[in-house]
Amino acid sequence: MQIYKVGGAVRDRLLGLPVTDIDWVVVGASAEQMQALGYRPVGADFPVFLHPRSGDEYALARTERKNGRGYAGFTFHASPSVTLEEDLARRDLTINAMAEDEHGQLIDPYNGQRDLQQRVLRHVAPAFAEDPLRVLRVARFAARYASLGFTVAAPTLELMRQLSASGELQALTAERCWKEISRALMETSPQVFIDVLQACGALAQLIPELAPHWGPERAQVLARAAAERQPLPVRWACLLHGLGNPVQPVCERLKVPRECQALAQLLERYLGTAQRAASLAPGELVELLQHFDVLRRPQRLEAFLAAATLLQHGPFPGAERLRQAARAMQAVDAQPLIAQGFKGQALGDALQQARLQAVGATR
Ligand code: CTP
């Protein structure tokens, strides 16, 4: 059997980028042989194994064929007779379809190295269309490598357009979509991800609420969020802000994690009130900050202020007053009240009163 390094590890080494995980492909071996050598299968009926010590993924060379809609409608054929070239042919992009043997020799039947040099994201073959998730993957790679000058090849964009128009993206699960979206939003040029999805018509399929509102201004906000290395909830909340549609259905449809959804909703509901923080009464401030769950999740207020600052294109007027009020609330100590014998509802009321006074005293 022969073992080759494949995919992202080969691509990123040629780009001079750090390589974190290495994927390997094994040619000329059976599942039984792999197990006999101590490799652990990752699933009962998928020809991928983990190395007993390094934990790297070793996949048997395979071909894939689509026989139905969606991800479940896939059959693969792994056998010792499948060649390296056949395995590389089923992959998405030419830059991801290169392998390296144990001597460091490159095997590049689909001209991935040329496309790396020319900074082009190009599909390997029409079989690209067999997995519609690849529309999102290509957009994600475009977001990752835009700063190096990469763009999507015109025929690949055309194929992505056809795939989007066919309605195939609807068959993708929310989990697979969100995984791509969340990774792409954390790339260095996340706005390029949305640009590419828009250019091929996928945005209208995936986030139809956003598609008519996507433009240079929103792109700039997202680009600045990335330049500031803001966390995912800030990027997500900025992306969805001010669409004229509630954010909750979008978040539920994509099964967006709680923190991303919470921040998008806080921005939708309380941006206007927060802006007027300096003129709010202590009671209103306490109530607002309780919506932020500021005592248990102080980082949420900071994320909110980061998003609000980005959307304002400058300092957020209410920021200092909100921080000051939050600090005052956080400083209220329950212990003296407990020592005085307060408990249950009475303790809650006394604490609330103490927080109101503390916030009032900071004016
Ligand atoms: N691949 C593919 N089509 C997919 C998913 C993966 O063709 N829908 C292939 C590509 O050859 C890819 C390899 O499987 O290079 C490994 O996939 P993955 O680990 O998801 O991506 P990487 O290319 O390693 O990129 P990343 O740096 O994002 O992990």
Which pLDDT tens digit goes with each residue over 168-211?
Answer: 999 999 999 999 999 999 999 999 999 999 999 999 999 999 99
CA 91/CA 191 separation, integer angstroms: 25
Average pLDDT, the chain: 94
* Nearest ligand 1 atom to alpha carbon 134: 8
Band (pLDDT 50/70/90 cuts) for residue 313 is confident
Helix 133-145 with 190-199: angle, nearest 10 deg: 140
Cα dihedral sign, 8-10-11-15 = positive
Number of Cβ atoms within 10 Å of the Cβ of 229: 9
CA 305/CA 299 separation, integer angstroms: 10
**Could you tell me the distance, in angstroms and rounded to a whole number, from the CA of residue 8 to the centre of ligand 1?**
6
66 or 187, higher pLDDT: 187
Tell me the DSSP string of 155-207: HHHHHHHHHHHTTGGGGS-HHHHHHHHHHHHTSS-HHHHHHHHHHTTHHHHH-
Band (pLDDT 50/70/90 cuts) for residue 142 is very high
Residue 154 φ then ψ, to 5°: -55, -45
Helix 319-331 with 298-312: angle, nearest 10 deg: 180
Worst-scoring range by mean pLDDT, 39-48, 134-143, 223-232, 353-362? 39-48
**What residue's CA is closest to ligand 1, atom 3?**
92
Band (pLDDT 50/70/90 cuts) for residue 72 is low
**What residue's CA is closest to ligand 1, atom 16?**
7
Band (pLDDT 50/70/90 cuts) for residue 71 is low
Give the residue numbers of the binding site. 8, 11, 21, 23, 91, 137, 140
Band (pLDDT 50/70/90 cuts) for residue 44 is confident
Percent of the chain past pLDDT 90, that is, above it, reads: 90
Band (pLDDT 50/70/90 cuts) for residue 31 is very high
CA dist 204 to 67, 82, 163, Å?
26, 39, 13
- The pLDDT of residue 66 is above 80: no
**Could you tell me the distance, in angstroms and rounded to a whole number, from the CA of residue 287 to the centre of ligand 1?**
47
**Could you tell me the distance, in angstroms and rounded to a whole number, from the CA of residue 96 to the centre of ligand 1?**
7
Give the residue numbers of the binding site for ATP. 8, 11, 91, 137, 140
Q: Is 106 helix (H, G, I), strand (E, B) or coil?
A: strand
Beta strand pairing status for 57-60 and 151-152? unpaired
Average pLDDT over residues 32-49: 90
